[in-house]
Amino acid sequence: MTGIFSLVSACLFVTMGAVDVAFTEAAVGAGIATLLFLCTLALTSSEESPAVRHSFIPFFVVFVTGAILIYGTIDIPEFGDASAPVHQHIAERFIQTSPVEIGIPNMVTSVLASYRGYDTLGEVTVVFTAGIGVLILLGRGRREKLVKHDSDSSA
Amino acid sequence: MEHHLVLRVIAKLLIPLILLFALYVQFHGEYGSGGGFQAGVIFASGFILYALIFGIETLRKVVPLGLLRIVSALGLLLYIGTGVAGMLLGGNFLDYNVLATDPVAGQHLGILLIELGVGITVAAVMLMMFYVFAKP
């Protein structure tokens, strides 16, 4: 379902002229995400295992982070506000000066990689952190299980 | 897996094309659509196709998990390193104008390098996730 949805929205992006976004949607949403979903379905069983322990500190950390994020949204201008900074001059300036300053035809890339370099650095860090998180959550448990199986079979 | 002859032949035909297309998207991202994120995912999907046809253990032999961990960190380091190089040459962090004598050429070089960093990290992380999610 999500794969079909991603493919349809990718086609929608193409018709609206956002080829880069459509490309990402088709590759990530329709390709990798669907595959990971199927892998997860194959990995998990149909019944939920009982919770091992209730820990308070992770809940507290998540709650505080969420509260900070919601506090951050207070400063964001209202939805559809015509006087918001993003509607004032930034887009026009990028469109006018990007060919002169950066000199590459694909303006999406020049905004993404040069003007918004910090944002992209953050995105890459998020991807990297997500990879580490998955590795910590799933990788080690699997290895311990494998080691256990090995010792069981040898004993 | 021995009897899937059609799948194996088609996969062997397709995988080099997928990897080549990923490299095209990576290094042609400045001129056409695409960039590091898309190229990384396509590059990883080529390897994933290999794993689906020839088995995950074969892929583990081709690309070990330890190597992927190092490579994923290397991509991020390349990105940050490009920023720091701009700083060392007298500009701000992630300021590409100073990377070459001409500011526009510097921007080209900087964008190429950070997109390469993005692509390497994304491809490595995607493969890493596939490794731990896939059943052994």
- Residue ranges per structural domain of chain B: 5-133
Most A CBs within 10 A among B31, B41, B112, hence the mutation to make, goes to B41
Round to whole Å and give the CA distance between B114 and B86. 12
- Interface check for A106 against chain B (CB to CB < 8 A): the answer is yes
- The answer to whether residue A132 scores a pLDDT higher than 50 is yes
What pLDDT does A145 receive? 53
pLDDT in tens, A37-88: 887 787 777 776 776 667 788 888 999 999 998 888 887 766 666 666 666 6
- Pick the residue of A124, A128, A143, A146 with the most B CBs within 10 A to test the interface with B by mutation: A124
- Which pLDDT value is given to residue A64? 93
Do the beta carbons of residue B64 and residue B107 sit within 8 Å?
A: no
Tokens of residue A23, six digits:
């490309």
Q: Tens digit of pLDDT for each residue in B97-115?
A: 666 667 777 777 778 888 8
Using a 10 angstrom Cβ sphere, with 0-12 exposed, 13-18 middle and 19 or more buried, the burial of residue B13 is exposed
- pTM score, two decimals? 0.73
**Chain B partners of A140 at a C-beta cutoff of 8 Å?**
none
Tell me which DSSP letter residue B102 carries.
S
Q: Residue A143: what pLDDT?
A: 53
The 8 Å CB, 24+ separation contacts for B81-88 are B82/B110, B82/B113, B82/B114, B82/B117, B83/A117, B83/A121, B83/B114, B86/B110
Structural domain boundaries of chain A? 1-43
Q: Is residue A146 over pLDDT 60? A: no
In whole angstroms, what is the distance from residue B37 CA to residue A68 CA? Answer: 29
Q: How confident is the model at residue A149 (pLDDT cuts 50, 70, 90)?
A: low
- Region B14-38: mean pLDDT is 81
Higher pLDDT, B50 or A116: B50
Does residue B93 register a pLDDT over 80? no
Percentage of the residues of chain A whose pLDDT score is greater than 90: 4
Q: How far apart are CA B91 and CA B98, in angstroms?
A: 6
Q: How many CA atoms lie within 13 A of B10 on its CB side?
A: 7
Structure tokens, B130: 């596939």
Residue A155 clears pLDDT 50, i.e. is over it: no
Between residues B54 and B89, the one the model is more confident about: B54
